[in-house]
Every structure is written in structure tokens, then in C-alpha cells.
Chains A and B, each alone.
Chain A
Amino acid sequence: MIVSRSSSNSPSYPPRSRKIINYIMLSLTGLCTLLVVSVLLTILVYLLWNGVHALNLNFFTKLPAPVGQSGGGVSNAIIGTLKLLALASAIGVPIGLLGGIYLSEFAGGWSAFTVRYTTDLLNGVPSVVMGIFVYTLVVLPMHHFSTLAGGIALGIMMIPIALRSTEDFLRAVPRSLREGGLALGASKSETIFTIVIPAAIYGIITGIMLDVARVAGETAPLLFTAFGNQFNSPGWLQPTASLPVVIYNYAISPYDEWHQQAWAAGFVLLSGLLVVSIIARLILARGKKLSHG
């Protein structure tokens, strides 16, 4: 609508229709926000509701009980998931971090395009394909499933996001800061490692934490690599249980007790991811506060 340009000095108010459209759009956006939040809340409540009977100390400390016996827990799967994530981070984080630094600071034109394009493609590889890939690469030569294979699969899946989020946060560091460093006689790499990366470090850490949280729930690649285990998996070369695979196995089993434990395991996994992502947000907020006074 065009505000009338009458010669009178009285202020012109927006016509009624504009107000109405404003209200409608505001309600719609609010409604959609509510929908998103309520989906998450519903899932959490539903998981808790169904799994609450299985949630007790035993659930966290005991090994799975044989079929027909009550009690038992998924301690092996919790430990297994933590080990898998540690290994995945050890593989995915350094590669993603250094790749992101290269992409943001050194790569130009052709090489930047190639790295960025292949990284995005890698990100789009279905996780089940990643499972088969690592199965062929690691499990077949070793002749058995292992934590190592599962960690490698998750680690490869972590690379694209770690790399691109590192790149994004580094690129967000203003050019003026880099010039400030260069103008003092710092070399390019000195500027990058003493000014640019410290300026972006909170964002980079946040991106990596969210990346870990993302692969923590991956199931398909673990079916082909870590497989599963009714007991604790010693070392890194034996098959291991993990929360997502336990959920999958228990959920398709015919036993009520296992169903309940699957719900509980889902709740534990989701709560863990929530906590990680909340911590990540807090770190980012703290970083913003620090760098803006």
C-alpha cells in the first residue's frame, strides 16, 4: 500500500487491511513455532511415559538380562556409544577442523570449489551406504565387527559438518581483524592461528559439539560395523553395543520388557543430545558476550 502523500500535515496511519494481514502472519508464524516446539516436547514426554518403568539405577549400571528375566540394563550400550563417539571425534574433528581452516583461509577458486563440493556430497551420502562402505573397508579384512569400524564410520560422517561449520565460523571473522594482524607484521599463518581462530573458537567448538550430537543417534552405519553385543566390549576390536542399535533391536523384539527398555534408551539418548546441544548454545552465547564486551 502506498501511504497517501496528501499535503496535510496530519500523520497517515496504515490502512486497516495492513493491520489485519500483520495479525494473520504473526499468528501463522507463532503457530508454526509452537508446532515445532511441541513436536519435540511430545516426543520427549512420550518416550518418558513409555519408558519410565524401565528407568532405574539398574538400567544404567546392569548388563542386559536374558529373555524372560526381569531387570537388567543397557550399561554396555551406554559405554559403547561413548566409546564410539570418542573414536569418531578423534577421527572426524581433526580432519574437519584442519580442512575447515584450509577451506576458509588458504583455498582459492578451483580447489575451494572442489573441496566444498565433495564435502557437501559426502554429507549427502546415506548413512547406510557409509555403513556398507566401512564394512567393506574395515570389517571384511578384519573378519569381525568392532568398535573401531563403528568409530570410523561415525568419524567419516562427522567430517563434512565439522569442516563446513569450522569454515563458516572462520569466514565470519571480519576482514578488519585479519588486516589488523597483518598490519602489525604478523604472517598470514600467525594471523590465522593467533587472531582468527581464537576469535571464532566458541563457534567452532559449538559446531563440533552439535556434530557429535548428530552422529550419536546414527543407527544404520553401526548395524554393519559395530553390530551389537550383549556384554561389555573390551578394547576397540570387538563388536560393541550402542544405544541406537539397542533401541532398534529391542523395538523389533516381541518382548514387552524390551519394548519398555527401548523407550527408556530412546529417552536417555535424546536427553543426552539435548544436554549437549544446550551446553553448545551456552558456549556460543558466552563467546558472543566475550567478543562484544
Chain B
Amino acid sequence: MKTLMKPFDLSQLSKAHEVRFAGSEGMEEQLPWPQFTVADLNFFYGRQQALKNINLIVPNKRVTAFIGPSGCGKTTLLRTFNRMNETIPGTRVEGSIRLAEKDLFSVPATTLRRVVGMVFQKPTPFPKSIFDNVAYGLHLEHRLRRTEIADKVEQSLRRAALWDEVKDKLNQSANGISGGQQQRLCIARALAVDPEVLLLDEPCSALDPISTAKIEDLLFELKKFCTIIIVTHNMLQAARVADYVGFFLSGELIELNRSKQIFQNPEKQETQDYITGRFG
């Protein structure tokens, strides 16, 4: 276990941005400032432990992908970042997570979730119009004028690369557009409140390849102003979109490294086995 933690030695977490990734001989690079700093994280569903002693940092304004077989805890970890797991009765979390410099658990959950947005596996359009879906988060807290809201909705839809497809039917029900459009609508909805982080939980698993490609292209644009964490079953997708990849197995973080490193020269045998399709 100790060696697993080597790249993210706890003694160095305070200056985690200086932590270097191991295993990249001669081309060690400095990490961007950490968005999340996770230390000794354990998570329980009742008595069942879903995350075991997780230590990692998630770099700022990069795409980090979590991969691993079903039930390995990657989604659980993702949902810990916006404290979504708290809505499930009987769950318990130990350890610490820092969002930039702040303790994640000291911030009210509703405030945290405006900073850390989330998009789910299946599109979840609200039974409202397309416009009202995107404006939903804006109505919650801000007292904005109509024109400001309209501008924000347009900006968010453009960022989600959906504006051109829906600009003529903003008042129609969000249930009437295709699944891929609905998922981009959910991304636009999350972007409307200007989050610092966007969590994506297998966002393309219910979509066709064309919609998937659109969302992947989108991520390259979004990471300019957003930290992105994506959980995916699709290793090709992780290889395509991610700057950093974390491999999880049975609730443990096996390896976290630059995407290239993971897919070309992983440190751990388990990672090697998984990416070559020997299990999972």
C-alpha cells in the first residue's frame, strides 16, 4: 500500500502542487494547483466499505478520468466531491477532502454544489421548457434581471454546443429533444451557475457515438474554465479526453497518473491487466 501512495505522499499534501508524478523519467512535470486534495478517505454504505483509504489530488483545469470495473468505487468517490452521497441514508464518510484550500465538509452542501456541478449517467431534464431547465440554477440564488438570465442561458447553451440546435425551440419541453441533446442540456444547466468543477458520471453511456463525440469535443473547451472529473467505463474515451487517469479496483485507488503513462506504461500489474482487457 505504501508504494501506491508514493506520488502523493501525505507529508507533501500541503504543497501538493509541487508533487511530481513518478514514473515519467526525464520528463517530470509540475502538477497544476490541486482542485481537490483527498486524504485517507474511507466511505461506507452501511457496513459495506466502498472506498478504502483513498489519497489523491485532482489537478485544477484539467480533465481527470476515473476508470475501473463496476463496483470499484469510482462513482462513489465522484459523488463524494459534491456530497451527493449524503442524500442516501446510511452512508458514512471518513477522512478529509479539501476543495482548493477549504475543507469540503465545512461548506454548506447547497453552496458546495453550486461550485461543484454534476452531470449524471442518464440525462435528467426537468419537466420544464429548455430555457427553464438552464435557468433553474440561476433562479435559485441570484436575483437576476430577465435579460441577464436570457444572456446566461444563451452563453451556457453555447458553451455546451447546443445553442444552434435549440435556439428556435427554447420554450418547448426539454423532454422533446434527443438523448444526446438532453445530456448536453444537463451540461448547460450545470454550467449556468459558473461552477469551478464539473463532475461527469459516465455521461456518454446512454448515448450514440455521434453524441458521445460531441460531448468529448466539448470537454476540451470546458477545461479552459472548469476542472473536469469524468467517470467512464470506456477506456478509449478516457484515453481520448483525459489528462490524468485514476484506476480503481475494489474500492482502492491503484494508480493515478498522466493519461499517457497509464495507457502506455502503467506502474501496476493490475492496471496493466485492466487496460489490456484481462479482467473487468
Contact = CB atoms under 8 A, between A and B. Distances in A.
Contact of A182 (B87, B127, B173): B87
Contacts of A292: 175
A111 to B, nearest CB: 14
Interface string A159-188: 000000000000000101111111111110
A218 B146 CA distance: 51
Contacts of B118: 183
B113 A177 contact: no
Contacts of B126: 177, 180-181, 195, 198-199
Tell me the dominant secondary structure on chain B's binding face. Answer: helix
Contacts of B6: none
B113 A182 contact: yes
Contacts, number: 72
Interface in A133-154: none
Contacts of A187: 110
Given A198-B127, A198-B128, A184 B117 contact: yes
Interface size bracket, A side? 20 to 34
Interface string A223-259: 0000000000000000000000000000000000000
A182 B120 CA distance: 12
Interface string B107-143: 0001111100110101010111000000011001100
B277 interface: no
A194 B141 CA distance: 14
Interface string A183-227: 111110010001100110000000000000000000000000000
A26 interface: no
B91 to A, nearest CB: 14
B120 A185 contact: no
Interface residues of B, number: 29
A12 interface: no
Contact of B120 (A179, A186, A195): A179
B110 A185 contact: yes
B18 to A, nearest CB: 33
Given A183-B82, A184-B114, A290 B127 contact: yes
Interface stretch (B41-49, B93-101, B157-165, B185-193): B185-193
Given A108-B89, A199-B127, A290-B173, A179 B113 contact: no
Interface in A97-137: 108
Q: Which 8 A-B pairs have the closest CB atoms?
A: A185-B114, A180-B124, A293-B176, A183-B118, A184-B137, A185-B113, A293-B175, A176-B124
28 contacts: A176-B120, A176-B122, A176-B124, A177-B126, A180-B186, A181-B126, A181-B136, A183-B84, A183-B118, A184-B114, A184-B137, A184-B140, A185-B110, A185-B111, A185-B112, A185-B140, A185-B193, A186-B110, A186-B140, A187-B110, A194-B136, A195-B126, A195-B127, A199-B127, A290-B175, A291-B173, A293-B175, A293-B176
Interface of A: 108, 174, 176-187, 190, 194-195, 198-199, 290-293
